[in-house]
Structure 1
Amino acid sequence: MIIGTSINGMKTVEEQEVRLLRGGPSAVSPFSVPTAIPHGAVGNICVEFNIKGRSITISTGCSSSLNAIGHAFECIKLGVCDAMFTGGTEAPITPLIMGGFCSASVLSKRNDDPAKASRPFDKSRDGYIIGEGSGILVLESYEHAIKRHARIYAEIKGYANTTDAFSMFAVEPTGSEAVECFSSACKQAGICQEDVDYVNAHGSSSRVSDERETMVIKKSLGMHSKKVMVSSIKSMIGHPLGAAGSLQTIASINAITDGLIPPTINYEERDRGCDLDYVPNETRRENVDIAVVNSLGMGGNNAVLVLKSYNN
C-alpha cells in the first residue's frame, strides 16, 4: 500500500495540544503519536485488514497522492509487487491549517458567494477553497488483473516527477521543470503531443498558479494545446491538498470509461493568460483515449501521470 497525504493527523495534534495546555501531560491521549504521524492512515488500514508487504506514505504537499500512484506504478513495473492499494487522503480543515492559508493570502475571499468561490482559470479568480476527501485505487499488473478476472478501467502508461528548487511557497515563473515533468511522462508513455485528448489540471483557482499551469501545458503540447480539453475538478470539490491527485486520477479514469469530461464550473470570463479550452460549466461528451493528470505541490514538486483507455 502506498498512500499520499500532506498533513494527515494535524487535527489530532491541535486537539491534543489544547488538552496538554489545559491539563498537562496526563491529559494527552496515549494514541496521539500513532494517530498524528503521516503514516497513521496506512498503518491503521494495514492492521485493520491484515495487509502485508510494502507499505509507504508519501508526503510532497498537494502532489502527494499522484506521486503515491506513480510510485505504486513503478513498483509493479519493477516486479516488486503484483498489486497495490494506492491513492491519497486528507482532512485539512483545522484552525491551524486554515489560519496558515488565510495568513498567506492564498484563499478566496468570496465569502458572500461560496458556491462560486472556486473558479479555476476564470479572470475573477482570487484564490482557492480548501476541501477534504480520499481517493483509493487498486493498481495491478495486467497478468494479475486477468488472472482474477478483474474489470480493467484504464492503463497507466507513464509517470514523472520533478522539483523546481525555487521556493517553498512562490511559483517558479518559467515552468521549466513542470514542462520537463510533463514531457518525461509522455515520453515514457510512448506518446506524442497530438495523442493527448484531455488534461486534468491542477487548476487550484490561484491567480498565479493557474496562469503558469496554462503556460506549462502550452509549452508541453505546442500548437496541439489549443485542441486539448483541459478542466479542473477543484472548481467543484475545492482543493483537498494531498488527496487531490488521486481524485483527479479517478475523475480522468471516469472520463476515459464513460466519455464524459468533467467541467470547470464557475468559468464566466476569459483571462488573457488562461486561453485554453477549459470545458466551461457543463459536462462534455467526448471520447478520450489518452488523459494526462497534472499535480503541483508546495515547494515546487511536480507530478504527471499518463492514462490510456484499455482495449482488450
Structure 2
Amino acid sequence: MARRAVITGIGVVAPSGIGREPFWQLLTSGRTATRTITQFDASEHRCRVAAECDFDPLALGLTRQQARRTDRVSQLAMVAAGEALADSGLELDGELAERTGVAIGSAVGGTTTMEREYAVLSNGGKDWVVDPSFAPPHLYDYFLPSSIASEVALTTGALGPAAVISTGCTSGIDSVGYAAELVRDGSADVMITGATDAPISPITLTCFDVIKATSARNDDPATACRPFDRTRTGLILGEGSAVLVLEEYEHARRRGATIYAEVAGYASRCNAFHMTGLKADGKEMSEAIDLALGDARLDPTAIDYVNAHGSGTKQNDRHETAAVKLSLGDHAYRTPMSGIKASVGHSLGAIGSIEIAACALSMRHGVVVPTANLHEADPECDLDYVPNTARERELGAVLTVGSGFGGFQSAMVLKNLERSAS
C-alpha cells in the first residue's frame, strides 16, 4: 500500500498572536495585524510599516540559554514546533524519535542578529576591518541557516533526518513538500516541518524599498497591503513561523490521531527568467499547479478553494490570476481564491507554511478566509477573491501556491480525508 503524509499537528507564531487560535480569529475576522514598525527606527525608510509579532521567548517557555544562543528566527520556530507537537499528541522517544525528522524553510535565516552584530563589529559600518574579539560566541550559528533545523530537533527530540530548505519565498511550501516526500518514501514516519523568518530589519526593508516592492502607504498601516485591489501599492513585510507535524497515514490512523488534511500533491518549477520579475502569462506557476494536481491524482474541478500568494504587487496578482485560469479553466471562475498577506504580512520564507496552516484550519472549520483590504477590484484580476468577509464552505481539496524571487513557483494540494472516498 502506498504511504501517505497527513497533518496531525499545527503550531503558529504570527503577528496576530501566539498560537493557532489567535491566528485563526484574525484571519476569519478580515482584520489586519500591520502597524508602524517598532523593532527599529524606520523613519528614514520608504516603507515604515510591517506585521510584527509580539514575541517574548522567555515568557513562551524558552530558557535564557536558548534565547541567548539563538536568533529570533530559530526562537519563532521552536515555539511553533512545541505547539505543533503538543497538538499532535505524539511523544517522541525510543524508535519513534529515530523515525522523526525535521525540515524547516527559511529565506533569510538569522538576518536580525547578524545585522545587529555586524553593526557592533564594524563600529556602525565605519570600519572595513573588524575586530573578531567583539563577536558573540554564537555568531557561527546565526550565520548558518542549518542551525534552525538543529535547534528544532534539539527542542523536540527528533533524531531522524534534518534539513533547512531555502528557496526564497516558496521555502515554506517546499519544506513541507520535501518532508512529505520523506514520509512517502519511508525515510521517516513523522516529520516536524514548516518554515520561519524574522526579516523585519533595516537591511531587509532597504532591499525591498529600493526595488519599490513595499507599500509606502505609511499613514494608514492597517490598510497598507491590498492584494488584488486596484489601489494596491506593494507588499508589507511580516515575520512568524508555522510548524506542522506530518505523519504517515496508517501510523496516525492506528493511534487515533486527529487528521487535519493529507498533503496529497506538491510540485515546484523555476521560470529561469528574472530575479524579481514575472511573466504575465503565469505559465510556470500553472505548470507547478498541473504537476501538483497530477501528484494528487485530482482533476482541476476537484479544487474547492485556492490560497493565493497575494503579495499585493501588481505583477504578482496578475501573474497568479493568469496561472489559476490556465490550470483550472472555467472552474477558476467558480472557485473562491483569497490571500492572507494583507492580514499577517509577507514573512518571506515562512509565509508558505503559515498559508498551509491557514488552509488546514479552513478545511477543519469549513470556512474560506477572506482577502482583507479588497474594496476596489482590479479589472485585470477578475476571479472571486473573497473580499473582507469570511465565507462558509465545505472544502474537500485545497490548492495553495507560492511565488519567490529567483523565479521559484510552487504549488501544493491538500485533501480533506473526511470528505474523500479514498
| Same topology, TM > 0.5 | yes
Match of 1:62 in 2: 169
Offset, 1:54: 0.3
Q: Is residue 318 of structure 2 the alignment partner of residue 217 of structure 1?
A: no
TM-score by length of 1: 0.98
Match of 1:99 in 2: 206
Aligned-partner residue type, residue 258 of structure 2: R
Q: Is residue 290 of structure 2 the alignment partner of residue 177 of structure 1?
A: no
Q: Secondary structure of 1:34's match?
A: helix
Contact kept, 8 Å, 1:172 with 1:300, in 2: the verdict is: no
Offset, 1:188: 1.2
Q: Is residue 120 of structure 2 the alignment partner of residue 13 of structure 1?
A: no
> How do residues 134-283 of structure 1 correspond to structure 2 at under 5 angstroms?
134-283=241-390
Offset, 1:24: 2.0
Offset, 1:38: 1.2
Distance in 2 (CA, whole Å) between partners of 1:283 and 1:219 is 26
Distance in 2 (CA, whole Å) between partners of 1:62 and 1:182 is 17
Distance in 1 (CA, whole Å) between partners of 2:356 and 2:246 is 12
Offset, 1:310: 1.6
Distance in 2 (CA, whole Å) between partners of 1:220 and 1:146 is 33
Distance in 2 (CA, whole Å) between partners of 1:284 and 1:101 is 33
Q: Secondary structure of 1:63's match?
A: helix
Contact kept, 8 Å, 1:252 with 1:291, in 2: the verdict is: yes
Offset, 1:111: 0.7
Aligned counterpart in structure 2 of residue 38 of structure 1, from 140, 145, 151: 145
Distance in 2 (CA, whole Å) between partners of 1:150 and 1:213 is 35
Aligned-partner residue type, residue 366 of structure 2: G
Distance in 2 (CA, whole Å) between partners of 1:50 and 1:187 is 35
Match of 1:51 in 2: 158
Q: Secondary structure of 1:62's match?
A: helix
Calculate percent identity across the aligned residue pairs: 39
> How do residues 63-142 of structure 1 correspond to structure 2 at under 5 angstroms?
63-142=170-249
Distance in 1 (CA, whole Å) between partners of 2:298 and 2:153 is 37
Distance in 1 (CA, whole Å) between partners of 2:274 and 2:294 is 27
Offset, 1:193: 1.7
Aligned-partner residue type, residue 17 of structure 1: Y
Q: Secondary structure of 1:236's match?
A: helix
> How do residues 284-299 of structure 1 correspond to structure 2 at under 5 angstroms?
284-299=391-406
Distance in 2 (CA, whole Å) between partners of 1:260 and 1:9 is 35
Distance in 2 (CA, whole Å) between partners of 1:10 and 1:302 is 24
Contact kept, 8 Å, 2:173 with 2:411, in 1: the verdict is: yes
Contact kept, 8 Å, 2:280 with 2:322, in 1: the verdict is: no
Distance in 2 (CA, whole Å) between partners of 1:105 and 1:218 is 28
Distance in 1 (CA, whole Å) between partners of 2:155 and 2:395 is 37
Match of 1:301 in 2: 408
Contact kept, 8 Å, 1:186 with 1:306, in 2: the verdict is: yes
Offset, 1:207: 1.3
Distance in 2 (CA, whole Å) between partners of 1:35 and 1:46 is 16
Gaps of 5+ in 2: 1-101, 124-129
Q: 1:60-107, CA deviations, whole angstroms, 9 ceiling, x for partnerless residues?
A: 000001000001111111111111000000100011001111111100
Offset, 1:50: 2.9
Distance in 2 (CA, whole Å) between partners of 1:247 and 1:48 is 20
Q: 1:133-171, CA deviations, whole angstroms, 9 ceiling, x for partnerless residues?
A: 100000011111123321111111110011111111111
Count of paired positions: 312
Offset, 1:172: 2.5
Offset, 1:19: 1.8
Contact kept, 8 Å, 1:199 with 1:292, in 2: the verdict is: yes
Q: Which 10-residue stretch deviates more, 139-148 or 281-290?
A: 139-148
TM-score by length of 2: 0.72
Distance in 2 (CA, whole Å) between partners of 1:49 and 1:222 is 44
Gaps of 5+ in 1: none
Contact kept, 8 Å, 2:103 with 2:165, in 1: the verdict is: yes
Q: 1:257-277, CA deviations, whole angstroms, 9 ceiling, x for partnerless residues?
A: 101111001101111110000
Distance in 2 (CA, whole Å) between partners of 1:173 and 1:270 is 18
Contact kept, 8 Å, 1:62 with 1:296, in 2: the verdict is: yes
CA RMSD of aligned residues (A): 1.2
Offset, 1:173: 2.9
